[in-house]
Structure 1
Amino acid sequence: MNERDFWQLIEACRPATPDPDGDELAAVLTARLGKGPVADVVGFAEQLSWALYRLDRREFGEGLSDDQFLYTRAAVVAAGQEEFERVLGDPERFGPYAEEFVWAEALLYVPDEAYRALTGEEWDRDTRYSYESHANTAGWASA
């Protein structure tokens, strides 16, 4: 799955009504990816980790707990590519997500749950980029 396919999938699965915690989005994504193939699940996990890694920067996360920062970054991804790109270009746009505790923790578990649905097994996965807070050392380097 390439980046374009990732964002198209996010957009296709986003509910028409507000989904502040991303639970509905995560459920639809899991159901869709859970139909296979496994390569799509792996590709989704890679693209999700890349998007979260790109948001892992000091100007977005300074002053937030690791969990709050991770779940807030997930909410930005859940908002879709257009909003994701806007936030990347203007860190001020990240503020309302953090201030209003807009989290999409459920998005983080989509690959694991889809993999389990496909294989019946737990997925001990690693992605090229870590989405854990402060993993992007260049994004946290002193100015």
Structure 2
Amino acid sequence: MTWADFWALIATLNGEATEESCHRLAEELSRRTVSDIVGFAERHAEALYRLDQEKFGTLPVIDMTLRDRSPFPQSSDVFLYARCAVVAAGRAVWEGVFFDVDKFAPYTSTEYDGEWLLSVPGKAYELATGKEWDRLTRYCFESYSNQDGWPYLQE
């Protein structure tokens, strides 16, 4: 799947990875070939992997503070869901955050939760084949897996 095809499918989310919009995307994707479903999963994993960088992951959750009013750090799950929300927002937002880290910050809010986007490839595959998704992607999208994005973790 080309990046253009991936971003065209992401555009069907209308900027948000809600349960409803992700189900709609999975249904759309399920009408394509298994190769396209796998290609979507690969592009999605790579998009998340590229966002897996210290400059984004160390941003605080913007609408929360600790008891002492200090910034509330993102957990690994919150960081993953924020990256999903950035991808769901579309190509322009995804590309833009690499040039301006402040554009990533709003997606750390509890208002944005892109977790539903993670289920799209599996749901599409299941709808298309009747079988459970059991495939790993080339890129690991789990938080802190991009060693180039987290240089101090390379030690």
TM, length-normalised to structure 1: 0.90
* 1:106 counterpart residue number: 116
Paired with 1:37 and 1:30, the residues of 2 have a C-alpha distance of: 12
- In percent, how many aligned pairs have the same letter? 46
- Where does structure 1 lack aligned partners over 5 or more consecutive residues? none
CA drift of 1:101 comes to 4.2
Would you say 1:65 and 2:75 are equivalent positions? Answer: yes
TM superposition shift of 1:123: 1.2
From the two aligned structures, give the one with the greater strand fraction: 2
CA RMSD, aligned part only?
1.4
| Matched residues, number | 138
Query: Could you tell which deviates more after superposition, 38-47 or 99-108?
Result: 99-108
| Residue equivalent to 2:129 | 119
Tell me how far apart the structure 1 counterparts of residues 101 and 45 of structure 2 sit (CA, whole Å).
Answer: 19
> Residues 76-126 of structure 1, C-alpha deviation per residue, up to 9 Å, x if partnerless?
000000011111211111111113441110100100001011111111111
Q: Which has the larger radius of gyration?
A: 2
Check conservation: 1:22, 1:106, Cα contact below 8 A: yes
- Please give the alpha-carbon distance, in whole angstroms, between the structure 2 residues aligned to 1:8 and 1:35: 15
Counterparts of 1:10 and 1:135, CA distance in 2: 23
1:79 aligns with 89
Counterpart CA distance in 2 for 1:123 and 1:131 is: 16
Q: Using the TM superposition, give the Cα deviation of residue 65 of structure 1 relative to its aligned residue in structure 2, in angstroms.
A: 0.5
> Match of 2:13?
14
- The equivalent of 1:37 in structure 2 is 33
Shift of 1:24: 2.9
Q: Give 1:92's aligned amino acid.
A: D
* Alpha-carbon distance between aligned partners in 2 of 1:77 and 1:24, rounded to the nearest angstrom: 16
Tell me whether 1:47 sits opposite 2:43 in the alignment: yes
Structure 1 residue ranges, 4+ long, deviating more than 3 angstroms after superposition: none
SS in 2 for 1:137: coil
Deviation at 1:23, TM superposition (A): 2.3
Amino acid across the alignment from 1:30 = A
- Secondary structure in 2 matching 1:121: coil
Q: Distance in 1 between matches of 2:103 and 2:79?
A: 14
